Structure 1
């Protein structure tokens, strides 16, 4: 009599289960390694379970805006409406912001850093971001207090808001509490707020503390217009942790590093025997290492001669 075994082979796993497993891998592995293993894995890695959380912030810091937008569109499309987290930097066009908003039905965590967003774009997007609880718009210099007000009025579930600035962008500028007042008036449920190197003053801080009663973390590093009475704050807000305003070892650029773009064109000659209809190529240089992102579009044809699942 044969003894039943609890050990199952990989090819018995359904695509959704494989997708959940593959989601634990890095984005480079999901795009460049998994699709080349076998046909069933290539199909599974394009499913929505692999792309509910998309974090390409580091990758996008080294790419041209048009390539970032192509990647964002492709990965969000793969999520099939199940996108819960998106982290990206350097987006530039209103078209891509509209695309993100149109696919934000399940989005909870949105981080768009160093993006060319204006108050007008924020107004168009925010109505579709009502379920957002985490929002990072650091270094987005075109957004002002009007945009912050719109976000607060539409994103009622917002608990984490990051609005850090680069010290070189705020150095020598006069103090301005307009954004602080907008946050205080429209984001009462905040638990975590970051405003590093902002032009905020004591008045702005006190307004935030008086209105955001659930606040547990406040980052004021580099906010040189703020002078806090720590003893008084500890008594009034015992559960609140405040960072700053002083920064150890601070200079004009010590705390925040610039990003640069370095796009490397793909060497298509190496793949002359492959069909252009089946593949999309993009060469990316990250930390001096050139990675070739090969995303299979025509899965059925591309995987026709691949081995069976391991």
Structure 2
């Protein structure tokens, strides 16, 4: 949906657009208009809708259109934390404390503090690859009491300290995404690659987030010890993704616990691995062209989604 106000000279087209907008929205409350405008991308709604008519402008400048702010795709195009923070501060002020969901990318400390200030009703916070630090998280975590869904994937300045602070205060948290980039290997003298084990983040999750139902920890650096702590403490888990956690061996005792989880993706999980049957030839040469086309189509679909 794209809303554009066009004018054709002094007063003519603009007055007609104003009249059409006034008639169309006459009698509609700001809450209803906000539901209608919810189909428009947030950045486009901010730039175009206010110029159609006075009623639309008042609705967009009010709090109801900004209970949910999803600007992740716009943030990816801009890719500048200072510009992103400035935009979010402006929109968060418009929400007037009614913010319930925020999705951003490369959010900085400045905007995060604004989020916390308006976080009384905030349920969903998705800020992958943001510049937010442990210090800022520890300072404001007590304001995020209503959080149920949190995505802090690739937030390299947040460590186990920030995760622990979030877990201690966000008691309603049921979904956590904490995927990280693959760790840089450390080469031993015999030429083999080793990554240092770090259980701290896994233990922070286990010790402070027992109500989790959905957990992603791709490329975490924990071992069986950290995984076992999570499986023991987080009894409500039905989705667990630890792809790329190569220090996890999954011994026999842990494997039994993993089987109890409805959806489990282990360290070496490959979603494109073909499912074989007794009648299938597992030789790669036996794959026909149609099957190859299907795999390519799947890859392209996933790229577009990402």
**Cα distance change, pair 99–202 in 1 and its aligned pair in 2 (3 A):** same
Q: Deviation digits for residues 86-112 of structure 1, max 9, x if unmatched?
A: 1111123x3322221111111011112
Is the 2:43–2:71 Cα contact (8 Å) retained in structure 1? no
Unaligned runs of at least 5 residues, structure 2: 1-22, 187-194, 273-298, 300-306
Q: Does 1:16 align with 2:38?
A: no
Alignment-derived partner of residue 134 in structure 1: 149
d(CA) in 2 for partners of 1:129, 1:80: 16
Runs of 4+ in 1 over 6 A off after TM superposition: none
Separation in structure 2 between the aligned mates of residue 200 and residue 235 of structure 1, nearest angstrom: 17
Is 1:111 equivalent to 2:111 in the alignment? no
Partner of 1:178: 200
Q: CA deviation at 1:236?
A: 6.6
Higher percent of residues as helix: 2
Q: Within 5 A, what are the aligned runs for 1:70-219?
A: 70-92=86-108, 94-167=109-182, 169-172=183-186, 173-219=195-241
Measured after TM superposition, the shift of residue 191 of structure 1 is 0.4
CA distance in 1, matches of 2:61, 2:245: 44
What RMSD, in angstroms, separates the aligned Cα atoms of the two structures?
2.4
Q: Which has the higher contact order (CA 8 A, sep 6+)?
A: 1
Judge conservation of contact 2:174–2:211 (CA < 8 Å) in 1: yes
In 1, distance between residues paired with 2:212 and 2:119?
Answer: 21
Could you tell me which of 35, 43, 52 is aligned with 1:37?
52
Quote how far apart the aligned CAs of 1:171 are.
4.2
Q: CA deviation at 1:150?
A: 1.2
* Uncovered stretches (5+) of structure 1, i.e. residues with no partner: 1-7, 256-310
Higher strand proportion: 1
> Alpha carbons of 1:44 and 1:196: their partners in 2 closer, same or farther (altered >3 Å)?
same
Match of 1:51 among 42, 56, 66: 66
Please, which moves more after superposition, 30-39 or 184-193? 30-39
Deviations 1:165-186 (A, max 9, x none): 012x454431111110111111
Q: Distance in 1 between matches of 2:209 and 2:254?
A: 24
With the length of structure 1 as denominator, give the TM-score of the two structures.
Answer: 0.72
Residue 233 of structure 1 deviates from its aligned partner by 3.7
CA offset digits 1:112-164 (Å, max 9, x no partner)? 21122222111101010111111111111122222221111111111111111
